[in-house]
Structure 1
Amino acid sequence: MDLLPEGRRRHGIQRITQGLGALDREIFEAIAESPTPLLDSMMPPLTRAADHSKLWLAIAAGLAATGKSSARRSAARGVITLGATSLFTNQGAKRIRQRPRPTFDSVPLRRRTRHRPTSNSLPSGHSASAAAFAVGVGLESPALGLPLALLAGLVGLSRVATGAHYPGDVLAGFGIGATIAVLGSRLVPPVVRTKIPAADPLRVDTPPRPDGEGVVLVINPASGRGTGARVIEDVRQALPKSEIVELGDQDDVKEAIRSAAARAEVLAVGGGDGTVSCAAEVAVDAGVPLAVFPTGTFNHFAKDIGCDTVAKTVEAIRTGSVACVDLVCLNEDQIVINTASIGAYPNFVRTRERLERRIGKPLAGVYAMLHTLWGDEPVRITYDNKTLQTSLFFLGNSTYLPSGFAPSIRTRMDDGLIDVRILDTGRPFSKIRILTALVFGRLERSPLYHELRVPEFAFTAVDGPTVLARDGEVGSEYDEAKFTVRYRALPVFRPLPK
């Protein structure tokens, strides 16, 4: 069959567009003219609450205030997605096609907005922000996403009922917000908790210590910009019979921890992950359980065992709640509690964390990757009978989530596995290929990305010794490094399900 002439095709598209526009106006008039007291009472306050995204920011603040890591991640993703969507909608989408706002004539007086908007009607910015926040939160927490999606739908309805937009404007806004949220999830995948069956925690019978008897806490009062001093006061009040060893800047931390462990029934430590790593090694050698108080900058280990506050650690000590976690042994004589890395991975993390609060984690991750790939010297390593060049090498104690090159959390720390992630930067156009895969959310499928979960891992530095960082601290240089899991080797005080 012959194709239609250009003129007839254009005429047909115009007729379809006109027909959709007429339908859009008819639906608007049907909603606007509906004499429904419920619409009159609910829609104006709802649309005002959504002005300048006040409704969504208030919900995000409430989620963050719960203190739950999943709620905080949901709030952060929702707000970042909302911000990106608002920028795109107001500075880009609204300028593509001019469409005047509906007239107020058919809208009941009590239902009209107080201030008639003057910007372009297509698309609805309120609806775009509502969809962006609801979908962004829902990607991290589907249980929260459903009620927020219903609320977003009501906000969209309020824009029609109050005469601010046509239904088509609302649908276009929903589409924009949802699309940006999904694209954001490709850049930084949401954390999806593993559903693989796992063994129950290995609990250790430990007597309750309601007043802290037998606990020796080693802590620097100046750690965490003064957090250490506050922790000391809290522990003295909550565990009055505990012994507290206050460190000075000139003290040998490892020697002080060894001395404390020799007389302790419970070794407690306050400090960053480097200090906790040292204490973990001493605790295993001394055969005593470890209690961790979060006084460092990031406190990754404390957070992952559930002791992200002083109160949680105190409660675990009082009730005798102890379970064993894995450690990773490096060359049989050093301990890794969180991560180890070679190449520029520490610089990548520092750059991303420095920027993510200002520009959001997705953009910060892309910038940090770009900065790292072009600004740092790669390292050639051999492992599993193959040689590759890498600028980014990550190794974690137990499985980290999500998959890809943005590992964030561990849901378990006793799975007997080492999590290894490597980017191969030695192939033709590898840097461009890595960045392209990252932007389009396909890094995990790239042949330049390697992800292993194994009980042991070893590599050899081809061109001579390379610096290996452990638990946030820059360590020694190694020609060869062998990592082996010490399965459930360290008993720690932590909250446990009853």
Structure 2
Amino acid sequence: MSAYAAQSADPVRARVTALLSAWDRDVFHRVAARHWPGGDRVLPRLSHGANHGLLWFGTAAGIAVLGRGARSRRAAVRGVASLALASAAINTVGKRSVRRARPVLDAVPAVRRLKRQPFTTSFPSGHSASAAAFATGVALESKGWGAAVAPVAAAVALSRVYTGAHYPSDVLVGAALGVGAAFAVRGLVPTRSQLPAPGRPHATAPALPGGADLVVVANRGSGSGGGAALVRDALPLAEVVECEPDEVADALEKAASQGRCRALGVLGGDGTVNSAAAVAARHELPLAVFPGGTLNHFAYDLGIESVHDTCRALAAGDAVRVDLGRFTPGPDGTPCGYFLNTFSLGVYPELVRLRERWSPRIGGWPAGVLAALKVLRGEHPLEAEVRGRRRALWLLFAGNCVYRRMGPTPGRRYDLADGLLDVRVVHAGRLPGLRLLAAALAGPLSRSPVHAAEQLRRLRIEGLAPGTPLAYDGEVTEAPPELTVDKDDEALTVYRPQALQ
């Protein structure tokens, strides 16, 4: 740019800055002069409650506790992650870049002013950035919760001008940065709606509107209660059989073998769904999965998060074929178990066993944390011969199909019929907890000093000591001395809605 052009641009820039500054002050004084019914009581308290993100952390906890299903929990986590990114960006870069003084409070009634005035610079508004980031992050995962949170976020942003803490432009720019932070988090960790649902290969299954010719076996002992009533309300023509955990297998076999249904349904967690999958595959019946457990890994990977999702698939007859993992004693013979999600040896089966022992007394999540702490203090790794070589291992994991990353962590399968086992091994050594953490962060690396991962169709394991625990889909049993782990390709037909909502 020439010197003349630079001189010409300076007056234009100065005039634009003067106009924006005049607009800022004019709107600020209009807000200060206007009486808002109830505002003097509510908005200062709301502004104070949002200090250090406390309002939003409390809201996230409420969403996670009161919301039904994994979508609410994901919405809470995404909201907090978006808030954290926005807050870090504002406090490390934003406020240091533009050192704008806070507004003069002469025009603001004393009853509205904050008891403790902020001492940081005015531009941009950190409260507005946090509010917008949290609300946007929640909305990107759950439109319902987003609609509930948005008015509160807007009120917090307004309160910053109303109490005299910020100029309007501080609030607008802060809110825009907050929205940008939420979308940045989505770029790192996609929402479920962005990811392709496992829809290959499509299978033919009978359309059963209203649940006609469907028997649903519901496990009373599963993690989330009230599911059987939801299924009855949504599918009035279905036969719903509620039973205790030790009665599930018999109820499933009876429903499938007596010709009472054209499709088999199951309501429960991953262990219950595992039992139903084996029965459905053996009797060549399509399976309708209703998520009713604590984690519901298979249902969520399938793209089913609610009873409504399964009902839509049943009404339309939409289904896909999926693989079944299996493990067989010896090199050949009859499979002694199937798995839809994971098979593992080493520390994880022991963790599951302790968690199940303690959870009735202290709850599932605390029991899982305490079990992990106890297991990771152990000093006796698993000894096994894997692919002809004797190894000391902390963990051997085989996933039914390949697990892909969701952002920085591996967490979802995009294809449930790829014919592969996702095999991962954590080698024994000192500090097992750090080794397991390093393996989790490494993801599907082919080789590392701590972790090895390969995608196989068949895995041979020998030399297991008597009493070695084996976990599959959250269930624990005793492993035989030698095992073959492989796949039964496209063995199961499962209902899944084609157009996920």
> Under a length normalisation based on structure 2, what TM-score does the superposition of the two structures give?
0.64
Aligned partners of 1:399 and 1:319: how far apart in 2?
29
C-alpha distance 116-58 of structure 1, shift in aligned 2 (>3 A): same
Q: Is the 8 A contact 1:345 1:392 kept in 2?
A: yes
The question of whether the paired residues in 2 share the 8 Å contact of 1:382 and 1:460 is answered with yes
Q: Secondary structure at the match of 2:376?
A: helix
1:52-80 CA-to-partner distances (Å, cap 9, x unmatched) read: 33885699699989989677525313326
Residue 400 of structure 2 is aligned to residue 397 of structure 1: yes
Q: CA deviation at 1:305?
A: 2.3
Give the share of equivalent positions with the same residue, in percent. 33
1:294 to 266, 270, 291: 291
1:473 alignment counterpart: 475
Aligned residues: 438
> What is the alpha-carbon distance in structure 2 between the residues aligned to residue 113 and residue 30 of structure 1?
27
Corresponding residue to 2:346 among 332, 343, 348? 343
Distance across 1 between alignment mates of 2:69 and 2:352: 23
Structure 1 residue runs without a partner (length 5+): 1-27, 94-100, 356-360
d(CA) in 2 for partners of 1:130 and 1:352? 40
**Residue 135 (structure 1) shift:** 9.0
Give 1:218's aligned residue.
217
1:151-190 to 2 correspondences below 5 Å: 164=165, 190=189
What RMSD, in angstroms, separates the aligned Cα atoms of the two structures?
A: 5.9
Does residue 1:320 correspond to 2:317, yes or no? yes
3-state SS, counterpart of residue 478 of structure 2 = strand
TM-score, normalised via structure 1 length: 0.65
Change (3 A) 1:157 1:261: closer
Distance 1:434-1:367 versus aligned 2 partners, 3 A rule: farther
Amino acid at match of 1:213: A
Give matches, 1:90-239, under 5 Å. Answer: 105=104, 109=108, 114-118=113-117, 121=120, 127=126, 130=129, 134=133, 164=165, 190=189, 201-221=200-220, 223-224=222-223, 226-227=225-226, 229-231=228-230, 233-234=232-233, 238-239=235-236
User: 1:292 and 1:400 mapped to 2: Cα distance?
Assistant: 21
The DSSP-based 3-state class of the residue aligned with 1:479 is coil
**Selected match of 2:456 from 443, 454, 468:** 454
SS at match of 2:411: coil
Q: Which residue of 1 aligns with 2:255?
A: 260
The residue aligned with 1:490 is 492
Rounded to whole Å, the distance in 2 between the matches of 1:311 and 1:401 is: 26
Change (3 A) 1:265 1:34: closer
Partner of 2:239: 243
CA distance in 2, matches of 1:139, 1:232: 27
Partner of 1:425: 428
Contact 2:114 2:163 in 1 (8 A): no
Separation in structure 2 between the aligned mates of residue 375 and residue 327 of structure 1, nearest angstrom? 32
Distance change >3 Å, CA 337–CA 128, structure 1 → 2 = same
- Asked if the contact 1:306/1:494 (under 8 Å) is kept, the reply is yes
Residues 205/279 of structure 1: CA separation in 2 closer, same or farther (3 Å cut): same
Change (3 A) 1:123 1:323: same
8 Å contact kept, 1:75–1:137: no
Structure 1 residue 317, shift from structure 2 partner: 1.8
Whether the aligned pair in 2 keeps the contact of 1:343 and 1:377 (CA below 8 Å) is no
Asked if the contact 1:223/1:271 (under 8 Å) is kept, the reply is yes
**Displacement after TM superposition at 1:474 (Å):** 0.8
CA contact (8 A) 2:216 2:241 kept: yes
Residue identity in the other structure for 1:477: A
Whether 2:326 is the aligned partner of 1:329: answer yes
